Amino acid sequence: MTELFTDPRTLLRPIALLALGKTGADIERLVRDIRRTARRSGRGITWHDLEAGLRAGQASMSADLRRRAAIHEAGHALVYTLTGIAEVQSASIALHGVGLVTAVPNAHLPETEAWLMNTIAALLAGRAAEILVFQEPIAGAGGADESDLARATAMALAAETSLGFSKEQPLRYRSIAMGMQELTMDRGLADRVNRRLECAEAIAHDLIQANRLALDEIASGLESVGMLAGDEVRRIVRGSVRDSETGEP
């Protein structure tokens, strides 16, 4: 994707995305330090200076882990875009040591059961992409209460206990705390929640498999640049969908 480097507007995107989470004071301090260093070397500030300064302190990634992280985040970005449940703002890897896709939910969509399943599918899409490409996932999708697996499980549990989507006793409401406790005690509930998760992962898998070229292009951009803006993700997906409809390679 050479246009990422030739379009002047795209030169600013990596810098802007790297600066996410930093305050104006942080940026001002960083620029002062960079200017001071450049002045000592008898030259002006370059884009590389700014990017290096913003990346300073981030955890480095091996080539294999960088590839896996790129595939994982590309899976999220792809399924969010294809299902239309949220608009991707940015996708990144190694930003402050982690991969991240930021997306704004499309609030105009009705929160139906299909919407919920697509949302869970998007949460599980990183793991599904890893399985499709590497035949196995790493532990990054889980491990914490705010992880992909935790959030997906909470949504699947809500479908069965508090949102009225269950095929069994759909009118019986249980709070989140009650539902989590019941999940550990009720084998039937656990099976229904797990089936929802498996179904959602299958949705993600099928979408990714059908749009593998888009997945690979998004992942390649993340590997080489470290981040992509949402409009770049959408351009890639639109191009892939158009090519598949016309039969072009």
Angle (CA) 151-157-159 rounded to 5° is 105
Token readout for 135 is 């035949």
Q: Is 92 helix (H, G, I), strand (E, B) or coil?
A: strand
Low-confidence ranges of the chain (pLDDT < 50): 1-10
Spatial distance between the Cα atoms of 228 and 230, rounded to a whole number of angstroms: 6
| pLDDT, tens digit (0-9, with 9 covering 90-100), for 96-128 | 557 889 999 999 999 999 999 999 999 999 999
Within 13 Å of residue 115, how many CA atoms lie on the same side as its CB? 11
Distances (CA, A) of 241 to 34, 130, 160: 43, 21, 34
Distances (CA, A) of 92 to 67, 179, 193, 249: 12, 34, 30, 27
Query: In 3D, which of 140, 185, 141, 137 has the Cα closest to residue 161?
Result: 185
Spatial distance between the Cα atoms of 69 and 194, rounded to a whole number of angstroms: 25
Burial state string for 163-198 with b = 16 or more CB within 10 A and e = fewer than 16: eebbeeeeeeebeeeebeebbeeeeebeebbeebbe
Spatial distance between the Cα atoms of 17 and 23, rounded to a whole number of angstroms: 13
Spatial distance between the Cα atoms of 166 and 30, rounded to a whole number of angstroms: 53
pLDDT at 171: 95
